[in-house]
Amino acid sequence: MSKIYLSLGTNLGDKKSNLEYALHLLSEKVIILKKSSFYETEPVGFKDQPWFLNMVIEGETDLSSGDLLYFAKNIESKMKRVKTIVNGPRIIDIDILLYDDQEIETENLIIPHPRMQQRAFVMVPLYEIASDLIVSGKSIKEIMESFKGEKITRQS
């Protein structure tokens, strides 16, 4: 079994239900060990869209990293995600943040996720469930101290 961390986000429709349904679908092949709280976050990049609801999970899976990517993309398709513009609105987005201690760089997959350290909407919920984690030689706390201005609110 491989330990994985996934980021989930949505900003269309019933956001909480979208995340819960994605978790249900993920649980078919991922043992979910920990779930962060839900976080409402402002859009990054393209600003003229609804705010997001994001979360991070820690899990275990027998899937290879490539098969996990394929599985996550199939869930996005099943939930009818439509890619419009870069960083645009979406019903669900599932990103692989970490896969064991592996560093992977292929045409379709880079692990650790290449932009995770720049995104409070990933690092804040990751810190909630794995505060002692080291990412690319840096503690999560150290990474989070560099964030300025990105609005993120923990939801009940």
List active site positions: 81, 90, 93, 95
For 130, residues 6+ apart whose C-beta sits below 8 A from its C-beta are 5, 34, 58, 140
Residues 6+ apart with CB under 8 A from 9: 41, 52, 53, 54, 55, 90, 92, 93, 121
Cβ–Cβ under 8 Å, residues 9 and 79: no
The dihedral through the CA atoms of 99, 27, 16, 155 has a sign that is: negative
